[in-house]
């Protein structure tokens, strides 16, 4: 597939080596090893190892790898990803990979190799405790979202930045696969037939669809900040002490709460999934507590980080008006809960699933977990305005999820 843009060609591993030598990132004679390690839905990812260092070359394909060449996708997403990483690095360099090079013609980025870390989703499936994860993500969200919001940028500055992140192809994936298809009987959906009666009930639920329509409208029209756009646990590299946010190719000016909800949805799915992963009751309860702590801490860090930055100075002339920022925080909180519901619902019904649940070996437990995830997701979407604070949300999740776990208490 080489004919899509002048100068673009799809790399083989040897091309990635030659390219890095040409850039001077490795010397001409240095022996290099290169593997294509991409396991995501969209791109090629090469790891190139020399004697003393290792680098990642990530190249966009002109189509969605997971579906095939009949789903064309803009190559511009590589530029968007690279530039979004640079924007994040300006405000929170500790939590993104270092970008060494961006080539918009070949649609590739050259980045720090983070293979010493683990993909967040894999770490959660293994039941690893990551005590800093919630705080790191809350800080990342506060820094990246505030810095690109109308609290930090003048309307003119924000419009100039938003113009660099117009991302219709990738937004369209989210519009269809997250917001629309899972709420109708569409061919792109992928779910076990045993879920059909439950889905028929949700598809007929006008209250649910009204809320999803409202959240879809926010995604389509609320350009509040430069958001990551796909902040699930597969977009994280983690360890007990380090967290890096990768893959911002879905970045655009969108609703600020979408990233928060995406992260929460994946914590919620993880907490439901552990019923199928072999931990004993007490260990499972303890791990769920860690996941709820992570969600709660992410919000606390986000809220504190947003308030601190506002206090340090804002271009918004209304910033100091009593109650104004509190109301924004409350709105983001309830929108995040709604987006979390949508992001959880789509992982059960839609095209793209999560390994947390798909890797459950027992088919009966896997089905029950899917059923539980659908009920909880629908209820979060419909009740998103009822939660007064993160303690109330946590208490609700604890009772809703713990009740479905079948632990012997």
Nearest CB to Mg ion, comparing residues 247 and 296: 247
Nearest CB to ligand SR1, comparing residues 67 and 86: 67
| Cα–Cα dist 291/294, whole Å | 5
**Cβ distance 221 to 299 under 8 Å?**
no
| Least Cβ distance, residue 343 to ligand SR1 (angstroms) | 9
Helices vs. strands in the chain: H and E counts, helices first: 14, 12
Nearest CB to Mg ion, comparing residues 40 and 135: 40
Question: In the structure encoding, which two tokens stand for residue 318, read together?
Answer: 């209304």
Considering only 41, 54, 314, 330, the residue that binds ligand SR1 (CB under 6 A) is 41
| Least Cβ distance, residue 196 to ligand SR1 (angstroms) | 22
Considering only 75, 177, 246, 354, the residue that binds ligand SR1 (CB under 6 A) is 177
Residue 81 contact, options ligand SR1, Mg ion, none, Cβ 5-8 Å cut-off depending on partner type: none
Report the run of H or E that residue 368 belongs to, with start and end.
helix 363-383
Which of these ranges, 22-30, 40-48, 150-158, 316-324, lies near Mg ion under the rule CB under 5 A? Answer: 40-48
Residue 334 contact, options ligand SR1, Mg ion, none, Cβ 5-8 Å cut-off depending on partner type: none
| Least Cβ distance, residue 352 to ligand SR1 (angstroms) | 4
Report the run of H or E that residue 336 belongs to, with start and end.
helix 324-349
**Cβ distance 220 to 174 under 8 Å?**
no
User: What is the size of the binding site for Mg ion (CB under 5 A)?
Assistant: 2
Nearest Cα residue to 214 out of 382, 390, 396: 382
* Lookup result for tokens 């190719």: 249
Nearest CB to Mg ion, comparing residues 247 and 303: 247
Name which of residues 220 to 279 contact ligand SR1 (CB under 6 A).
230
Interaction of residue 81 with Mg ion, rule CB under 5 A: no
> Counting beta carbons within 10 angstroms of the beta carbon of residue 273, is it exposed (0 to 12), middle (13 to 18) or buried (19 or more)?
buried
> Counting beta carbons within 10 angstroms of the beta carbon of residue 199, is it exposed (0 to 12), middle (13 to 18) or buried (19 or more)?
buried
Considering only 106, 158, 173, 336, the residue that binds ligand SR1 (CB under 6 A) is 173
Alpha carbon 286 to chain centroid, angstroms: 25
Nearest CB to Mg ion, comparing residues 245 and 381: 245
Q: Is 107 helix (H, G, I), strand (E, B) or coil?
A: coil
Residue 83 contact, options Mg ion, ligand SR1, none, Cβ 5-8 Å cut-off depending on partner type: none
Name which of residues 236 to 265 contact Mg ion (CB under 5 A).
247
| Cα–Cα dist 116/110, whole Å | 17
Considering only 66, 105, 194, 286, the residue that binds ligand SR1 (CB under 6 A) is 66
| Least Cβ distance, residue 88 to ligand SR1 (angstroms) | 18
Nearest Cα residue to 103 out of 58, 50, 151, 55: 58
**Cβ distance 332 to 257 under 8 Å?**
yes
Phi/psi of residue 63, each to 5°? -150, 170
Q: Locate the DSSP E strands across 76-190.
A: 99-103, 108-112, 118-119
| Least Cβ distance, residue 41 to ligand SR1 (angstroms) | 4
Which of these ranges, 13-21, 61-69, 316-324, 385-393, lies near ligand SR1 under the rule CB under 6 A? Answer: 61-69
| Least Cβ distance, residue 232 to ligand SR1 (angstroms) | 6
Considering only 64, 124, 137, 267, the residue that binds ligand SR1 (CB under 6 A) is 64
| Least Cβ distance, residue 341 to ligand SR1 (angstroms) | 16
Q: Which residues does residue 240 pair with via DSSP β-bridges, in sequence order?
A: none
| Cα–Cα dist 112/224, whole Å | 30
Contacts with Mg ion, residue ranges (CB under 5 A): 40, 247
Contacts with ligand SR1, residue ranges (CB under 6 A): 41-42, 64, 66-67, 173-174, 177, 230, 352
């Amino acid at each position: 597939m080489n004919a899509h843009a002048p100068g673009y060609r799809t790399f083989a591993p040897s091309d990635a080596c030659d390219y890095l030598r040409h850039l001077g990132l490795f010397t001409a004679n240095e022996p290099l090893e290169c593997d294509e390690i991409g396991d995501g839905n969209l791109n090629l990812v090469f790891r190139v190892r020399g004697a003393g260092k290792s680098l990642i070359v990530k190249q966009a394909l002109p189509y969605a790898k997971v579906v095939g060449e009949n789903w064309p996708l803009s190559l511009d997403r590589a530029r968007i990803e690279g530039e979004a990483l640079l924007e994040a690095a300006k405000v929170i360099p500790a939590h993104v990979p270092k970008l060494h090079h961006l080539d918009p013609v070949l649609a590739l980025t050259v980045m720090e190799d983070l293979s010493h870390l683990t993909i967040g989703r894999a770490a959660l499936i293994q039941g690893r405790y990551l005590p800093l994860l919630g705080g790191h993500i809350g800080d990342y969200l506060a820094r990246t979202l505030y810095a690109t919001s109308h609290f930090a940028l003048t309307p003119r500055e924000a419009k100039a930045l938003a113009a660099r992140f117009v991302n219709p192809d990738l937004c369209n994936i989210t519009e269809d696969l997250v917001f629309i298809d899972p709420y109708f009987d569409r061919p792109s959906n992928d779910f076990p037939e045993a879920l059909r009666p439950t889905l028929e009930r949700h598809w007929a639920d006008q209250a649910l669809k009204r809320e999803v329509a409202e959240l879809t409208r926010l995604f389509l029209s609320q350009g509040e900040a430069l958001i990551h756009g796909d902040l699930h646990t597969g977009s994280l590299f983690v360890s007990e002490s380090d967290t890096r946010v990768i893959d911002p190719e879905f970045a655009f000016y969108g609703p600020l709460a979408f990233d928060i909800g995406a992260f929460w949805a994946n914590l919620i799915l993880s907490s439901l999934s552990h019923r199928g992963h072999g931990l004993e009751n007490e260990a499972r309860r303890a791990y769920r507590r860690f996941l709820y702590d992570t969600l709660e801490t992410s919000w606390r860090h986000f809220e504190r980080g947003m308030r601190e930055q506002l206090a340090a100075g804002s271009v918004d002339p209304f910033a100091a008006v009593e109650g104004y920022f509190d109301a924004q925080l409350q709105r983001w909180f309830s929108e995040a809960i709604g987006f979390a519901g949508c992001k959880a619902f789509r992982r059960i019904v839609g095209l793209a699933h999560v390994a947390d649940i798909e890797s459950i070996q027992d088919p009966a437990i896997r089905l029950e977990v899917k059923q539980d995830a659908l009920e909880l997701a629908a209820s979060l979407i419909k009740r998103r305005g009822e939660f007064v604070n993160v303690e109330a949300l946590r208490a609700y999740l604890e009772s809703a999820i713990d009740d479905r776990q079948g632990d012997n208490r």
